[in-house]
Amino acid sequence: MKNNMSSIERCHAALRHQPVDRVPVSAMAWFIGARAGEVGTKAYATDGANMAKGQLAFLEKTGVDMLHPMSDVGQMASGWGTVMRYTEGLAPMLDAFAVKEPEDWEKMRALDPKKDGRMHVPVKAISIMRKDPRGKNVSMFPYIPSPLTSCTHVRAMEEVLIDILINPEPLKKGLQTIADTTIEYGNALFDAGADGLLYATTRASAEIVTIDQYKEFAMTYDRHVLSHLDNQDGLNIQHVCGLEPFFQLLSEYPNCAGINWWDRGSRLKIKEAKQKWGKKVCLVCGMDQTTTLMIGSMDDIKNEVKDTIQQGFADGTGLIIAPGCEISPNTDFAKIRAMMEAAEQYGRKK
Ligand SMILES: [Zn+2]
């Protein structure tokens, strides 16, 4: 192990359960990039050059090890016809859903990441950042929604849950089309220079669906997508921010090394996760983006990082400090730097 690892080396070693020189830090910085780069909402969300500018500015202000270049959840959904609302200063929002009737699932077609929707935005941003000296060594894990998560970006969540019960066949046709597109999009992100995906299995939580529903309407497609990506190096991170994540089921997924979950808000705490899955899964967690990072003091932030390291880093690997979901675009950059300073202070190899 080198004493001064690059961010990519550090993140990959943690994901592979190899020793690291210090615990790596991610900040789940999505739309905050627009503020960092002083780019307008729509400009940031629709042009990869603007997204690259914002993400690199964020990196310069904070020094985090891992970026998740993105603006909002609609890159694929807008390709199927979901309409976005762009308001200055706010992340783009899903405004009108594409799938209005169950039959619409069957009318969906597989998309081309180069030209449909806004998939080209993170793809272009990543390729620009990789060529920039500032972005060469940073770890980049762009967000990509799983097929069931995408379903809730093209149709209201309540309607999707009803379709699971009474329109399963049309829904499954839609899921297959979405899965095919997700594979193409994932490959395009890797081709651009991503070193992993933040694969959002956000509906894998007991307050949303039953585990049997998840297996039938999500796991099948998740496993298909993950095992059909061109890149099979196994370093992807899953993202699940619900209250009762199906951690055991997700820990068995192919082509994944880490799970990012909201440990501070869900029933599953770091200590239990480390005991049960810590040898197999890299834990990507530790910072409450809804309280500590937004309204906590610098000392609160440092103490939360210290606590995370004590619970999840006793073996010197298998942990990336991260919030449980996207950080607020209004988060103070100095507070993110405080996470980094605490990682330096408490998370160095002795
Ligand atoms: Zn989330």
pLDDT at 8 over 80: yes
Tokens describing residue 148: 């069931």
Residue keyed to tokens 């933040």: 198
Rounded distance from Cα 1 to ligand 1 centre (Å): 33
Each residue of 51-101: pLDDT tens digit? 999 999 999 999 999 999 999 999 999 999 999 999 998 999 999 999 999
Cα 183 to averaged position of ligand 1 atoms, centre (Å): 20
The CA 56 to ligand 1 mean position distance, Å, reads 22
**CA nearest to 317, candidates 7, 12, 3, 18:** 18
Which CATH fold would you assign to the domain 7-346?
A: TIM Barrel (3.20.20)
- Is pLDDT at 3 greater than 90 in this prediction? no
Distance 293 CA to ligand 1 centre (A): 15
Mean pLDDT of 247-252: 97
pLDDT digits (tens, 9 = 90+) for 132-177: 999 999 999 999 999 999 999 999 999 999 999 999 999 999 999 9
Cβ 217 vs Cβ 171: under 8 Å: yes
Locate the domains of the chain by residue range: 7-346
Q: For residue 202, report the distance from its CA to the centre of ligand 1, in Å.
A: 6
Q: Listing from the earlier edge strand, what are the strands of the sheet with 236-240?
A: 143-145, 198-200, 236-240, 256-261, 282-287, 319-323
Ion ligand 1 residues within 5 Å by Cβ: 241, 325
Rg of the Cα atoms in the chain: 19
Average pLDDT over residues 188-211: 96
Confidence (pLDDT) at 349: 76
Tell me the per-residue pLDDT of 229-245, one tens digit each, with 9 for 90 and over. 999 999 999 999 899 99
Residue 327 CA to ligand 1 centre (angstroms): 10
Distance 141 CA to ligand 1 centre (A): 14
- Tell me the C-alpha to C-alpha distance, in Å, between residue 190 and each of 34, 45, 144, 304: 23, 20, 12, 33
Instruction: Please tell me the distance between residue 205's alpha carbon and the centre of ligand 1 in angstroms.
Output: 12
Confidence bin at 321 (pLDDT 50/70/90): very high
Q: Are 199 and 238 in contact (CB under 8 A)?
A: yes
Helix locations, 2-47, DSSP H: 7-15, 32-36, 41-46
Q: Residue 201 C-alpha to ligand 1 middle, in angstroms?
A: 9
The label of the residue with tokens 């929604």 reads 145
Rounded distance from Cα 239 to ligand 1 centre (Å): 6
What is the model's pLDDT at position 350? 64
Residue 199 pLDDT level (bands cut at 50, 70, 90) = very high
